[in-house]
Structure 1
Amino acid sequence: MKRSALILQKRAEKIEAQRALHATAEGEKRSLNETETVEFRSLQQEIEKLTGEYNDALAYEENLRSLEGSEETEFTPAGEQRGSEKPRFSLHRAIRSQMSGSAHVVLAGAELDVHQRAVQSVSNANIAVTGFGIQMRAAQTVTGDSGGYGGNLVATELQDPIDFLRPEPLMKKLGATYLTGLQGNLRYPKNEGGIVATWEGETDETDSSANAYGYVDSLPKRLSVTVPISLQNLMQSNIDLEIYTMKEINAAIENAIDAAAINGSGTGQPIGVLNVSGTNQVTTGTNGSAPTWDNIVDLETGIFVSNASSAKMSYVVNPQTRGKLKKTKHEAGDLGYLMDKSGEINGYPSTASNHVPANLTKGTGTNLSAMAFGDWTQVLINQWGYMDISVDEKSQKKKGFVEITVNVFLDVLFKQPKSFSVIKGLITT
């Protein structure tokens, strides 16, 4: 066994010993104790020493192979011998071995040895040598000759992809409730009030009263995404493309839920807080108007008047409104701004998201913004069944594509719309 292989085996034993230490600690649900930490660090020093020895051994063995290869790939006429030396490699003889016909010669001797070394050198890259191969060992540089020689041999290490820029996940952050694994259609009975208490005289008859009940339905709506991936991409990727793709699909679904909860139309998709009926509405001017301290206070007041206040209320704005509020003072001469440095508005936290529209129109006003305030724990994100994932390798097989399709069935429900106040038509640019 080569020295590099022996060193590699010893190094693996040390790493396995480290793994055993961690397995013991994890099994007991604790971190490494003092004794184990000392042992772990001692093993780490040995591993680092063995790593250096391994790299030295590899370099030495490569030097030996280079020396042997330079002797064997010396081109001389076929059959030529130098004294008692073995026959040298013959390029012509190797070429003839690949020609069909009666003169066909099978690779043998020095030609076979050189070919086998070439095959071995590319085996780790899963490259098939279909003819005969010669492992070239000419001197190379990385930057010389404009990189046309050695530079083209330098491997490029593929790292994890840089994630696509999406709005920050919103509903989970704000405290919405997620219900999963649902089956039938959902109907939520809703107490709309009616029982009252009245002051009566000592013997006066009290009028009867009863609660009035309505209901709110929640029905599944299909959210779907299909991603085609080429077979070549799957085979050649140095990262686990399928796992990364599923991560991106999950992010896309979560963003679609957030977008629907904020500004969904209710047609073929859930209805969002900006469009659901029953919220407290704060109005702006005929053609829109800039945000004011009065607007912000009115958003809060509507909720309190409706008995819908809670300790978890929060503002949701878009980046344009966020910037406008940070530059707008309460009133002339007031040193305070509508949004303070911590991001609070009127003493409540705020979150900025591009899911809040900035392209609304009102009268002649364009590119106007919206803003919502309320108790986001009143939002239900209902999910039926499970995330259905299907892989179709047949529909586009002639094009070399595999399609990954994900279907989920969801709805967004606002238990008490009066827990929210909405304003549209803000001039923020």
Structure 2
Amino acid sequence: MQLHEIRERRAAKVTEARSLLASDKLTPEQQAAFDKLKGEITSLEADEARAQFLEDAERRSAGPLDKGTRELHGQVSLVEAIRCQVEGRAATGAVAEYSREVEQRTGTKGIYVPLSAFETRAQTTTSAANIVADDFRPDLFVGPLRNSLVMRRLGARVLTGLRGDVVIPRQKTSHTAQWLAEGDSLTESGMTFDQLTLKPRHVGALTELSRQLIQQASPQIEQLVRDDMSAVIAEAFDAAMINGDGVKEPLGLLNTVGIQTANLATLSWDAVQAMLLKLGIKNVSPTAWLTSPGAAMKLATTLKSTTAGAGYLLEGGTLAGLPVAVTNQVPGKGTSPVKGQIVLGDFSEMFVGVWDSVQILVNPYAEGPYKRGGVMVRALMTADVAVRRPEAFVVASDVAL
């Protein structure tokens, strides 16, 4: 049981016991009920002390990585993690050491690589079936275009190294100050709280690699394999951050309850300012806009006014002085016709929780790749998303395309 759950149960028991003491004299039934509650409260207090001890211990152990750990992470090779499974041998070196650490921490056996192995990634990558050549030129490598990965770049806060569910307290209301006349009494006010919960959700990707590629020891090959696998997973996660349904995927920004709405059916400078006003009323300082290519094109071709020399709504990558991120990950709204969506907000109010290891599993016997002399590689990552303050965002879902 989580610490906050223990405290909530204990508080409920205390309230129940206090209600029994409201009467001047307890009946035998009330006395028995009170004694039972007293025992339950004592037991919960012991549970709370144990849970608090464990939480404090975990917090102390979750400090920054020491030099030795950073060096170990830097030595883990993704290609070596794949190669040892293809060859049917035990992992060795840094891969084996890191996998043992994860196994001890999670109790799950497997071959693991640290998330840091994927942090340096290109936006244009491809499978590597055709890059093993006599004269290998990684500087000339051409890959497919990916949907732009924007959410982390917009300022979403990333929490790494998580274990289990993560509960983040959130203050909803605060105390209220009051002006008084002579003899007036202050009215009691207090803060109210709720909480955000980040739960482990899993995203994975399958990719086929050639055996010849895996046997290469080139650092460039290592980087290409990392880039492709990380870009595939990151693209899926970026889409979920924007429009996840909250079932298997994280609950994305556009589907979060409490997001403000606006009207841009008729694009105009006044309508843009109205969106900014909605956030200003909530004491939110927006950091950026987020939209799709179609909606961005409409903004870039709409004049601010009919006055001669007036500029366009979107110029130089900015709208009302704020940067505009454009990606195909922002979906259209409705059908016949599809409407564009434009989001404005403070993207630092989004939390991204990442459980820090990526599990690698190789299947050298998958039928299709086996016939072609390749192997199938699966990568699994665990992460979740939460919006801390939904009112920090406003979305217009009625832009004519």
Which interval holds the TM-score relative to the shorter structure? 0.5 to 0.7
2:366 pairs with 1:386: no
Shift of 1:158: 4.4
1:333 maps to 307
1:116-195 alignment to 2 at 5 Å? 157-160=135-138, 161-195=141-175
**Percent identity of paired positions between Structure 1 and Structure 2:** 25
Deviations 1:30-72 (A, max 9, x none): xxxxxxxxxxxxxxxxxxxxxxxxxxxxxxxxxxxxxxxxxxx
1:64-79 alignment to 2 at 5 Å? none
Q: Is the 8 A contact 2:304 2:313 kept in 1?
A: no
Do the aligned partners of residues 360 and 334 (structure 1) sit closer, same or farther apart at CA in structure 2, a change above 3 Å counting?
farther
Q: Matched residue of 2:300: which SS? A: helix
1:346 maps to 320
1:297 maps to 273
2:262 maps to 282
Q: Matched residue of 2:254: which SS? A: coil
Deviations 1:262-312 (A, max 9, x none): 22222211122222111110135xxxx3422233112211111112225xx
Do the aligned partners of residues 198 and 249 (structure 1) sit closer, same or farther apart at CA in structure 2, a change above 3 Å counting?
same
Q: Is the 8 A contact 2:269 2:313 kept in 1?
A: no
Q: Find 2:209's aligned residue among 229, 247, 270.
A: 229
Do the aligned partners of residues 377 and 412 (structure 1) sit closer, same or farther apart at CA in structure 2, a change above 3 Å counting?
same
Q: Is the 8 A contact 1:280 1:299 kept in 2?
A: no
Q: Is the 8 A contact 2:168 2:195 kept in 1?
A: yes
1:373 maps to 344
Do the aligned partners of residues 239 and 203 (structure 1) sit closer, same or farther apart at CA in structure 2, a change above 3 Å counting?
closer
5+ residue gaps in structure 2? 1-132
2:381 pairs with 1:401: no
Q: Matched residue of 1:296: which SS? A: helix
Q: Matched residue of 2:298: which SS? A: helix
Q: Matched residue of 2:318: which SS? A: coil
2:223 pairs with 1:246: no
Equivalents in 1 of 2:281, 2:145: separation in Å? 39
Equivalents in 1 of 2:203, 2:300: separation in Å? 36
Equivalents in 1 of 2:209, 2:236: separation in Å? 22
Do the aligned partners of residues 352 and 336 (structure 1) sit closer, same or farther apart at CA in structure 2, a change above 3 Å counting?
farther
Q: Is the 8 A contact 2:355 2:383 kept in 1?
A: yes
Do the aligned partners of residues 272 and 291 (structure 1) sit closer, same or farther apart at CA in structure 2, a change above 3 Å counting?
farther
Do the aligned partners of residues 249 and 398 (structure 1) sit closer, same or farther apart at CA in structure 2, a change above 3 Å counting?
closer
1:16-95 alignment to 2 at 5 Å? none
5+ residue gaps in structure 1? 1-154
1:355 maps to 329
1:219 maps to 199
Shift of 1:221: 0.9
User: What RMSD over aligned residues (CA atoms) do the two structures have, in Å?
Assistant: 2.5
Equivalents in 2 of 1:253, 1:334: separation in Å? 48
Q: Matched residue of 1:387: which SS? A: strand
Shift of 1:345: 0.7
TM norm structure 1: 0.57
Do the aligned partners of residues 204 and 360 (structure 1) sit closer, same or farther apart at CA in structure 2, a change above 3 Å counting?
closer
Shift of 1:156: 6.6
Which residue identity lines up with residue 210 of structure 1 in the other structure? G
Equivalents in 2 of 1:385, 1:340: separation in Å? 38
Do the aligned partners of residues 158 and 361 (structure 1) sit closer, same or farther apart at CA in structure 2, a change above 3 Å counting?
same
Q: Is the 8 A contact 1:378 1:416 kept in 2?
A: yes
1:114 maps to none
Equivalents in 2 of 1:157, 1:217: separation in Å? 51
Shift of 1:426: 0.8
Radius of gyration: which is bigger? 1
Q: Matched residue of 1:192: which SS? A: strand
1:17 maps to none
Which residue identity lines up with residue 271 of structure 2 in the other structure? N
Shift of 1:213: 1.2
Shift of 1:402: 2.0
Decide which moves more: 173-182 or 331-340: 331-340
Which residue identity lines up with residue 317 of structure 2 in the other structure? G
Q: Matched residue of 1:402: which SS? A: strand
Q: Is the 8 A contact 1:360 1:368 kept in 2?
A: yes
Q: Matched residue of 1:297: which SS? A: helix
1:123 maps to none
Equivalents in 1 of 2:166, 2:179: separation in Å? 40
Shift of 1:168: 2.8
Q: Find 2:292's aligned residue among 307, 312, 318.
A: 318
The alignment of Structure 1 onto Structure 2 pairs a total of residues equal to 265
Shift of 1:314: 0.7
Shift of 1:239: 8.7
2:90 maps to none
